[in-house]
Amino acid sequence: MGLQERIEAAISDHIGKPARLSSTRASSGGCINNSRVVTLDDGSRFFVKTNSQSAALPGLFETEYLALQRLRAPGVIDVPEPVACDADFIIMYAFNPGSKAADWHEQTGCGLARLHQATCQDQFGFDQLNYIGTTAQPNDWHDNWVDFYREQRLGWQLQVFAAKTTADDQLLLLGERLLQQLDNIIGQVQEPAVLLHGDLWSGNAAANASGAPIIFDPASYYGQREAELGMMRLFGGFGPRCEAAYNEVWPLEPEADRRIALYRLYHELNHLNLFGSGYYSSCIDTLRGVL
């Protein structure tokens, strides 16, 4: 059975009647995937992502499907509804994009804070390994956030980078110093694990037809909530109005900015590993800034 026939069969199983694709068009939807919107004979529309490297990225779409389900469950911020997935594709209902409402930033901040409040739990991690871009993201369960962040996030990215450089690389030396100081920097905040989107930059958030925020393309795990803001600050797009609204619902702990810079570093290191030396200087600057 070809890919289109498998996609039609998956949609048919979900809607309970035969699904026949009448048209398809390319769409944006994550920089690593091939994305398109397909329309059935009855006019219903679905968003489909595939990836030519999926065989080398086991669980890529299964973990995204699970993350979308969990992000949707509290009903506090709009998330595309997943329909089906297998090793080669994920299908979700297509949404109609709209213009951002005047209070889109405030709605986003409030929605994220309520999502985090609604998903508190004791352990840090996720059900299985997933991906941040095409970089594997380990998610072994931990009871302690500092240990999780040291081993599964910063330490992991430094290991990936170490394979591409020499042992005396300045970044690795600074990174090792930072790993030894994590208890002093983030260990004083005792907060529960919450469900994070995990890759929330401006390209993974938009407005739905009513102008309200909708978030997608997650790399979810259960972590401390300040880690969400690390990626949100890396490329901008959310800003002080969003963070102020978040703080009205669930205020951040004192001295959050230093910790958020540390959480941004994880994504800077990932971009260094994915895209090369253009991110080296920013990683060095962040390391020096938090040490």
Alpha-carbon gap, residue 28 to 48, rounded angstroms: 11
* Residue 84 bridge partners (DSSP): 91
CA angle 55, 57, 60 (to 5 degrees): 110
Out of 13, 88, 183, 199, pick the active-site residue: 199
CB 237 within 8 A of CB 201: yes
Alpha-carbon gap, residue 255 to 80, rounded angstroms: 34
Question: Count of CB atoms within 10 A of residue 121's CB?
Answer: 11
Question: Count of CB atoms within 10 A of residue 286's CB?
Answer: 21
CA 11, 15, 21, 24 dihedral sign is negative
Asked if 199 is an active-site residue, the reply is yes
Active-site amino acid positions = 199
